[in-house]
Structure 1
Amino acid sequence: MRTVSVIGHGEIGGALVRGIADLNAWQLGRVLTRHAVPDLEEQTQDGNRFLVHPVDLIIDAAGPDALRALGPRALAIAPVWSVGAVAMAAPEFQARIAAVSEKSGHPLRLFACGMANMPLTARRLRITMRSAEIEASWTGPLSQAVARWPDMLNSAVAVALNGPGLEATVLSMQAGGTNGVHEIEIEAEEDGITWQRTIRFDASSQTSHPVARMLLTELARANRRWRGV
């Protein structure tokens, strides 16, 4: 039985914590919360207390601010999974994380909901996002977009950092669409091959947060003795 601790108990973190109880090979360590959560024995609001608890994995389910604040210290203790890839858009923070990872031997894994398995050798990447929450359309390098939409681009940054980088990734933010619906189109080019993917998120038909489901799926996969593609 391995132990996983979780940073955050919001929409993603709360669903993740509840789901861990159903995983046979994982047990919950500590949950770092901003405020007291009823009936959650493992919670703490003290970052130091959270980090001293022995774990095999730490999941940042709170986003880029949490990764900036706790990522280096957490990575010194255990491997870290994070949904806050926007924090890694800053070269200085990238360098800091790389140094800690090299010293500790623990990797940082950035999660991109619905965008996994894009080619790591892609020379160019184009991401188009459509949402009613986007007030004005915009197109340009992803590196310039993270300051304008820091809460919407974690998955895009994760894909770009695992591929050609932020400067070689073109982002198109398109206003419009239905409230509660987000559409993402991804196109990657490598060696004469074009990869395309379209993802559509509809909040009205979701029974749980898609990022929490993805994290739980990956926790279950981590204990398989074999896997296919």
Structure 2
Amino acid sequence: MHGIHSDPRGGEGCGGEDDSRERGETMNKEKKKRIGLIGFGQIGASLNEMLSAQPELNIELAFVHETNPERAAQIPDGRRLESMERFFLHKPDLIVEAAHPEAVRRYGALVLKECDFMVLSVSALADAALENSIRSVCHEKGTRLFIPHGAVLGLDGIKDGLSIWEHVTITMRKNPRNLNFDAAPHVRGEGITKETVLYDGPTRGILPLFPKNVNSHATLALASLGLDRTRSILVADPKLEESVIVIDASGGGNSIHIERRNPIKGVTGKLTILSVLESLKNIFGSREVIVTC
């Protein structure tokens, strides 16, 4: 169902200094890729800063669509797009959603009728009807939906063993102040005073409850056993000062255990933002309809 577009950069000894210089000159002459951003929060603004600081990537900002007035005021001059209805006039090669699952629901089909779409709010695909609609548009128009690996390290290893895995589990541990409880009214973050398991069950069930926190769960599930067979565990621990993600996969006598720890700001870690940039650099070239990268 997914394909991971591997980094096209090869190892050393692929032609020497002259060839490297020639490849660099060729890249600089290539037409710049144009991306549109939906959302200018922490990820969108950081991505814009990183792209501006690395002109050698040949990726430029076509426009930004942001509905929050305060955030919209920070958009670079001439780049603000009030309505998505005529976004195609800006001739983007790719639209990057960095807003909210509602943006995927609202704009997914609209965007994919014109160009490729990269979504960070992967939790929106818990809606099977939306996923099917997106697949249909992709096949009809020849466009692609990209899912960056984000917080999921080792996704290539998970995919490599797809035929043997019997169990895949992702466990996320965070301080409750770094979790968004807006869609989970049955629990209040300020009431958590000790380590508390907030959810333990199929991945599809957690996505509507913590849509801003568990996109990594959705990415792993879509790339492995699916939303109904992958197990998700979310733990709130007020003693934690970092985000902890553990992935376990087992089957056929084989197993994988991956643990990642990183400091976080708000609900998004810096490593997640950096991984989005890396995915952007490697995104072109794959021919699958829905692509983890």
Classify the TM-score, shorter chain.
0.7 to 0.9
2:158 equivalent in structure 1:
119
CA distance in 2, matches of 1:16, 1:128: 27
Q: Quick one: which of 122, 135, 142 aligns to 2:203?
A: 142
- 37 and 182 in structure 1: CA distance in 2 versus 1, 3 angstrom threshold: same
Q: Partner letter of residue 233 of structure 2?
A: S
**1:68 and 2:105 are equivalent in the alignment:** yes
How far apart, in 2, do the equivalents of 1:223 and 1:94 lie?
22
Q: Does 1:30 align with 2:67?
A: no
Corresponding residue number in structure 1 for 2:279: 218
TM superposition shift of 1:223: 7.2
Largest Rg, 1 or 2:
2
What is the one-letter code of the residue matched to 1:164?
L
> Deviation of residue 32 (structure 1)?
0.8
How far does residue 37 in structure 1 lie from its aligned partner after superposition? 2.2
**Which of 58, 76, 80 matches 1:43?**
80
CA distance in 2, matches of 1:58, 1:196: 33
Matched, 1:15 2:52: no
Secondary structure at 1:152 match in 2: coil
Which residue, out of 131, 144, 147, partners 2:174?
131
Indicate the SS of the match to 2:156. coil
Give the CA deviation at 1:177: 4.8
CA contact (8 A) 1:20 1:27 kept: yes
| Count of paired positions | 221
Relative CO higher for 1 or 2, CA cutoff 8 Å, sep ≥ 6? 2
CA gap of 1:223–1:164, structure 2 versus 1, over 3 A, is closer
**1:93 corresponds to which of 127, 130, 136:** 130
Cross-structure match for 1:227: none
Counterpart contact for 2:65–2:80, Cα < 8 Å: yes
Aligned residue in 2 for 1:79:
116
Structure 1 residue 171, shift from structure 2 partner? 1.2
Aligned to 1:80, the other structure's residue is in SS state strand
Deviation at residue 117 of structure 1 after TM alignment = 2.3
For the residue of structure 1 that corresponds to 2:280, the secondary structure is helix
Question: Of Structure 1 and Structure 2, which has the larger fraction of its residues in helix?
Answer: 2
Q: What TM-score do the two structures reach when normalised by structure 1?
A: 0.87
Which structure 2 segments of 5+ residues have no match? 1-31, 180-191, 286-293
Q: Percent identity?
A: 23
Deviation per CA, 1:168-192: give whole Å up to 9, x if none: 1111222315354211100122443
2:62–2:92: 8 Å Cα contact kept in structure 1?
yes
SS at match of 1:168: coil
Q: Letter of the 1:130 partner, please give it.
A: R
Secondary structure of 1:62's aligned partner: coil
Q: Is the 8 A contact 1:127 1:186 kept in 2?
A: yes
List structure 1 segments (4+ residues) > 3 angstroms apart after TM superposition: 177-180, 221-224
